[in-house]
């Protein structure tokens, strides 16, 4: 069903276990509070769906969509809000859920933007992190896994809108995208 040019780096079982741990950590940290979980479209949709089912405090859900990459594999640094939150976040505890932090430019913009709306708190939960690529001073409060500087697909992450549905995480071999 899935093809050979992709090297699996995180299995379904590894992901499930880590997501369960993150849910427990978040549940503990926000005990007695309510949480607004904000997913960044589209990459975070699978991680977020699994994560919120492991959180045992009251949770509301919203989404934002921003443009960063287009169809290329390099960040442009230009961030534009394509879809904003539906509700006010004033006085609320916000947890931003993102698929991967690469340069950090996207999340840097989003978290500054959300903080300026007077949220009670704004924290970040990222499924993956490529720390070696950072250009903006962003750190995840909750992190699934660190990954090397390779192009990653699956579990929500795409290349040109493909591979998001893979239940595991794989490295896309260079010739798969450089030849296109
Ligand atoms: P940043 O602004 O450079 O941190 O870019 C973050 C966004 O770039 C992520 O939300 C992803 O959509 C995309 N991205 C960065 N690295 C990868 C990757 O290895 N695979 C797929 N998408 C990626
Ligand atoms: Mg994204």
For the stretch 111-170, pLDDT in tens is 999 999 999 999 999 999 999 989 999 999 999 999 999 999 999 999 999 999 999 999
The predicted pLDDT at position 70 comes to: 54
* Residues in Cβ contact with 136 at an 8 Å cutoff, skipping those fewer than 6 apart: 103, 104, 105, 107, 108
**Predicted pLDDT at 20:** 98
65 is catalytic: no
Q: In what order do the strands lie in the sheet with 121-129?
A: 80-83, 59-67, 35-41, 93-101, 121-129, 142-146
21 CA to centre of ligand 2 in angstroms: 23
The residue segments making up the domain with residue 17 are 13-150
Asked if residue 5 is part of any domain, the answer here is: no
pLDDT value, residue 173: 82
pTM: 0.92
Domain count, the chain: 1
List the CATH number of the domain containing 27. 3.40.50.2020
- Catalytic residue from among 29, 62, 84, 102: 102
Mutate-to-test residue for ligand 1 from 9, 97, 110, 157, highest number of ligand atoms within 8 A of CB: 157
How far is ligand 1, taken at its centre, from the CA of residue 33, in Å? Answer: 31
Report yes or no on 24 lying in a domain.
yes
Q: Confirm or reject: Cβ of 145 under 6 Å from ligand 1.
A: no
Residue 114 covered by a domain: yes
Residue pointed to by tokens 């050979």: 4
First-last CA distance in the chain: 22
Flag whether 156 is in a domain.
no
Is 80 exceeded by the pLDDT of residue 68?
A: no
Structure tokens at 136: 């903006």
Residue whose Cα lies nearest atom 15 of ligand 1: it is 102
Residues 6+ apart with CB under 8 A from 21: none
Q: Is residue 49 part of a domain?
A: yes
Distance 39 CA to ligand 2 centre (A): 10
Q: Which atom of ligand 1 is nearest to the CA of 106?
A: 2
9-30: average pLDDT: 98
Q: Which of 66, 61, 65 is nearest to 37 (CA)?
A: 61
The two structure tokens encoding residue 151 = 């192009």
pLDDT tens-digit series, residues 22-63: 999 999 999 999 999 999 999 999 999 999 999 999 999 999
- Long-range contacts from 122-126, C-beta under 8 angstroms, 24+ separation: 122/94, 122/96, 123/93, 123/94, 123/95, 123/96, 124/95, 124/96, 124/98, 125/22, 125/26, 125/51, 125/95, 125/96, 125/97, 125/98, 126/97, 126/98, 126/99, 126/100, 126/101
């Amino acid at each position: 069903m899935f093809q050979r040019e992709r090297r699996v780096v995180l299995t379904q079982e590894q992901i499930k276990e880590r997501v369960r741990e993150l849910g427990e950590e978040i549940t503990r940290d926000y005990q007695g509070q309510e949480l607004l979980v904000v997913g960044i479209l589209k990459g975070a949709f699978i991680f977020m769906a699994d994560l919120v089912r492991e959180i045992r405090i009251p949770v509301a859900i919203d989404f934002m969509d921003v443009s960063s990459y287009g169809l290329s594999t390099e960040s442009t640094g230009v961030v534009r809000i394509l879809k904003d939150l539906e509700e006010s976040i004033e006085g609320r505890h916000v947890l931003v859920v993102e698929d991967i932090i690469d340069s950090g430019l996207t999340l840097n913009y989003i978290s500054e933007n959300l903080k300026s709306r007077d949220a009670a708190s704004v924290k970040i939960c990222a499924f993956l992190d490529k720390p070696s690529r950072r250009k903006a001073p962003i750190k995840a409060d909750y992190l699934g896994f660190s990954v090397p500087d390779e192009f990653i697909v699956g579990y929500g992450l795409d290349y040109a809108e493909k591979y998001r549905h893979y239940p595991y995480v794989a490295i896309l071999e260079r010739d798969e995208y450089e030849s296109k």
